């Protein structure tokens, strides 16, 4: 275990030395305990206000989330931390490779010899994260909160890339430029990549499992691998997009628990036990089966075998069916979430929802979700989504009396009309 006394002791790090542009950098391995004790916040190691503002990302709850990830996820791994280092006397020590036959080295032997060495710190260096401050703080959180039985976290190794930093005016400008460059070109992981690859996000895991094993969704081209939630105009086969399916599952399973955004976010950080995933999978798969047997257009779509044909239900003067549009799946997800929270039997609820006309040129969809004049979907706001879901529930006879005023408010907001006008519109809503 790393102690406070060891914080300023000398330290030798295995290292590769490289160069890109006019930067000399050092790629090292550091134990988590060393990272925790030697890295400081920018405000602790430099009094320059500008440097602090530009180099220190605001610390949020993300640091504790990363710490919990280290503590609870056995297969945790991080990208390299890029660190600025100044003061002290960091020293590069070449490793003698005389015993290695140059004929065994493919490429430039001198490049290999010049790159391998040891970076020696004397303990007086001041080190701060240029990129990866949340990871550093997450490691500190994990070590502060781990029990003795998990003390192996202290000796786990992370990759740290050191760059030289100078407190001079040119040095500050140089470091600020590196910081801005790293952040300018860093791109967050896209939702499509999370759905395809993430093994911790349980909703992503369930989405993939449906595509492999659900008797309906595993059919070829049923779910489009589109880069966005929306479908392309040329797509005449898919029911919906993989991102729309992911959001539908999240709405039904997690929104149906009454969870708020923070709870849902936390749920997706760490993979749930397999037993829990099995239960959730059966629940969402059963819901999809109920929808297919209750909604005529879904029954026809999936009942004809492959190839699938969505063209009768998407496009044309009527706009097609609501459930064949990604936004329609969002509305349906909101409705099912409401029914779960209200403890209404989903079997009966889905049958009731199926009695409502889902043609997009009909009320309440026309003018709200669908532009019937130009025969295209409208850009939908949260107010539109709430109005559509509450309207569908009302028409299906599932909306509780105490929630009727919420429907009136939603109609007034979405259509930018007063309450009386909203009530008149609602009174005209009917089933099929």
Over residues 146-187, the pLDDT tens digits come to 865 457 888 899 999 998 776 667 776 676 667 666 766 666
Does residue 400 lie in a domain region? yes
Q: Are residues 161 and 251 in the same domain?
A: no
Does residue 266 lie in a domain region? yes
Does residue 172 lie in a domain region? yes
pLDDT in tens, 56-109: 444 556 778 888 888 888 888 888 999 888 777 788 888 877 766 666 667 677
Q: Are residues 23 and 165 in the same domain?
A: yes
Comparing CA positions, the residue from 78, 175, 190 lying closest to residue 134 is 78
133-145 vs 62-72: helix crossing angle, rounded to 10: 50
Q: The domain containing residue 132 runs over which residues?
A: 4-186
Answer for the pair 92, 121: CB distance below 8 angstroms, yes or no: no
Does residue 335 lie in a domain region? no
Does residue 323 lie in a domain region? yes
Answer for the pair 82, 182: CB distance below 8 angstroms, yes or no: yes
Residue where one domain finishes, among candidates 169, 186, 203? 186
Does residue 334 lie in a domain region? no
Q: Are residues 10 and 38 in the same domain?
A: yes
48: left (phi over 0), alpha (psi -120 to 50) or beta: beta
Q: Are residues 318 and 307 in the same domain?
A: no
Q: Are residues 287 and 250 in the same domain?
A: yes
Does residue 373 lie in a domain region? yes
The mean-pLDDT minimum among 24-38, 102-116, 408-422 falls in 102-116
Q: Are residues 19 and 99 in the same domain?
A: yes
Q: Residue 201 half-sphere exposure, CB side, CA atoms within 13 Å?
A: 19
**Number of domain units in the chain:** 3
Q: Are residues 275 and 303 in the same domain?
A: yes
Answer for the pair 125, 87: CB distance below 8 angstroms, yes or no: yes
Q: Are residues 288 and 320 in the same domain?
A: no
Q: Are residues 23 and 119 in the same domain?
A: yes
Span 307-312, average pLDDT: 91
Q: Are residues 8 and 141 in the same domain?
A: yes
| Per-residue confidence band for 329, with pLDDT thresholds at 50, 70 and 90 | very high
Q: Are residues 81 and 28 in the same domain?
A: yes
Residue where one domain finishes, among candidates 138, 155, 186? 186
Residue where one domain finishes, among candidates 186, 208, 239? 186
More confident residue, 431 or 200: 200
Q: Are residues 171 and 227 in the same domain?
A: no
């Amino acid at each position: 275990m790393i102690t406070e006394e060891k914080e300023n002791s000398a330290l030798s790090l295995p290292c590769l030395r490289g160069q890109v542009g006019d930067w000399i950098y050092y790629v090292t391995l550091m134990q988590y305990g060393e990272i925790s004790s030697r890295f400081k916040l920018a405000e602790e190691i430099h009094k320059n206000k500008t440097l602090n503002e530009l180099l220190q990302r605001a610390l949020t709850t993300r640091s504790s989330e990363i710490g919990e990830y280290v503590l609870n996820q056995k297969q945790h791994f991080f990208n390299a931390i890029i660190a600025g280092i100044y003061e002290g006397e960091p020293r590069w020590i070449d490793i003698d490779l005389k015993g290695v036959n140059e004929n065994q080295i493919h490429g430039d032997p001198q490049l290999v010899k010049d790159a391998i060495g040891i970076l020696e710190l004397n303990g007086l260096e001041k080190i701060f994260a240029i990129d990866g401050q949340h990871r550093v703080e997450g490691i500190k959180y994990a070590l502060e909160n781990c029990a003795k039985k998990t003390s192996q976290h202290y000796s786990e190794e992370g990759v740290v890339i050191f760059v030289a930093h100078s407190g001079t005016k040119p040095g500050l400008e140089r470091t600020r430029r590196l910081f801005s460059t790293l952040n300018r070109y860093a791109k967050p992981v896209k939702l499509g990549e999370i759905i395809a690859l993430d093994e911790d996000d349980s909703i992503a895991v369930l989405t993939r499992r449906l595509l492999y094993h659900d008797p309906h969704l595993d059919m070829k081209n049923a779910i489009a691998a589109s880069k966005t939630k929306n479908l392309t105009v040329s797509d005449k086969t898919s029911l919906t997009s993989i991102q729309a399916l992911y959001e539908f599952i999240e709405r039904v399973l997690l929104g149906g628990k009454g969870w708020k955004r923070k709870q849902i976010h936390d749920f997706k950080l760490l993979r749930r036990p397999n037993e829990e995933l099995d239960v959730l999978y059966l629940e969402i798969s059963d819901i999809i089966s109920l929808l297919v047997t209750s909604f005529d257009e879904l029954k026809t779509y999936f009942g004809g075998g492959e190839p699938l044909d969505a063209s009768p239900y998407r496009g044309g003067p009527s706009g097609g069916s609501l459930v064949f549009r990604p936004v329609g799946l969002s509305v349906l997800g909101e409705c099912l979430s409401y029914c779960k929270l209200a403890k209404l039997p989903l079997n009966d609820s889905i049958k009731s929802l199926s009695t409502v006309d889902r043609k997009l040129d009909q009320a309440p969809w026309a003018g709200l979700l669908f532009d019937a004049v130009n025969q295209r979907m409208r850009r939908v706001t949260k107010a539109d989504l709430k109005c559509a879901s509450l309207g569908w529930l009302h028409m299906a006879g599932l909306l509780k009396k105490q929630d009727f005023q919420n429907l009136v408010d939603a109609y007034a907001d979405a259509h930018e009309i007063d309450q009386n006008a909203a009530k008149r519109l609602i009174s005209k809503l009917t089933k099929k």
